[in-house]
Amino acid sequence: MRAEKICKAFGENVVLKDFSADFPEGGITAVMGRSGCGKSTLLMILMGLIPADSGRVIMPEKRRISAVFQEDRLCENLTVSANIRLVTGKRLSPAELDGHLSAVELGGSADKPVRDLSGGMKRRTALLRALLAEYDVLFLDEPFKGLDEETRSRVMEYTRKMTAGKTVVFVTHDSRECEVLADRVIEL
C-alpha cells in the first residue's frame, strides 16, 4: 500500500500537505504525531472513507480491511460477543471467544450489553472486534486510548501477538506504543 502526495484541508486548515509514504506488506507501520496533526484524517483517507483533496492511495484491489476507529463505533444495544460476532460470524467457538475476551481483560463480559461497559472496556471490545475480523490490512486509530497503564501493557502484548506477520497501520501520539508494536515509524 502506498500514499502519494496526499493533500487534505478542512476550510482554511491544511492538515496534510504532499504526504507520501509506503506501508509495507506484513509489517506494522506507526504514524506518530501530536494531537490534531492529521493522523486520523490520514487513516480515514487510507481506508477510503474520506477523499483526499489531491494525491492518491494505491492499494491492491479486493483488500479486506479491519479497523479500530477514532470512536469505538460499537452497537450499543448489542452484547460484547454479538458485536464481535457481527464481523467474525460463527468462525469462533464460544470457548475460543472467551479466551480472546480474557486476553484483553473482558472475561465474563461476553453477555453484557455494550451500553453498560466503561470507556476502557468499550475500547478493548472495539480492538478485539478489529483483531478477530478477517482482514488483509488493519487500521488502528489510537487503539489503547483510555486504558490504564497495566491493562495497556497486556493489551499491547496481545495485539503484537495477534498482528504478527500482518499488514497494520496504526496512529498514535505515544512513543512507547511505537516501541512495542511498530516495525517502522512515520513522523507526521
User: Hey, what's the cell of 97?
Assistant: 471467544
Asked if 47 touches another protein (CB under 8 A), the answer is: yes
Asked if 163 touches another protein (CB under 8 A), the answer is: no
User: Hey, what's the cell of 29?
Assistant: 507501520
For the CB of residue 112, give the shortest distance to another protein in the complex, in Å: 10
Asked if 49 touches another protein (CB under 8 A), the answer is: yes
Asked if 59 touches another protein (CB under 8 A), the answer is: no
- The string over 173-187, giving b where at least 16 C-beta atoms fall within 10 Å of a residue's C-beta and e elsewhere, is beeebbebbbeeebe
Return the residue matching grid coordinates 491492491.
60
Asked if 82 touches another protein (CB under 8 A), the answer is: yes
Instruction: Give whichever of 29 and 83 is closer to another protein, judged by the CB atom.
Output: 83
Work out which of 29, 40, 41, 79 binds another protein, going by CB under 8 A: 79
Instruction: Give whichever of 66 and 163 is closer to another protein, judged by the CB atom.
Output: 66
Distances (CA, A) of 187 to 23, 43, 142, 174: 13, 14, 15, 12
In sequence order, the β-bridge partners of residue 137 are 65, 167
- The string over 81-115, giving b where at least 16 C-beta atoms fall within 10 Å of a residue's C-beta and e elsewhere, is bebbbeebeeebeeeebbebbebbbbeebbeeebe
Number of residues in the chain: 188
For the CB of residue 46, give the shortest distance to another protein in the complex, in Å: 12
Q: Could you tell me which stretch among 34-42, 77-85, 146-154, 171-179 binds another protein (CB under 8 A)?
A: 77-85
The 8-class DSSP code of residue 184 comes to E
Give kind and range of the element (H or E) at residue 185.
strand 184-187
> Greatest CA separation found in the chain?
52
Work out which of 46, 67, 156, 162 binds another protein, going by CB under 8 A: 67
Work out which of 75, 99, 154, 179 binds another protein, going by CB under 8 A: 75
For the CB of residue 42, give the shortest distance to another protein in the complex, in Å: 16
Of 95-124, which residues contact another protein (CB under 8 A)?
A: 111, 113
Q: Can you give the binding site for another protein, defined by CB under 8 A?
A: 47, 49, 64-67, 69, 71, 73, 75-79, 81-83, 85-87, 89, 111, 113, 133
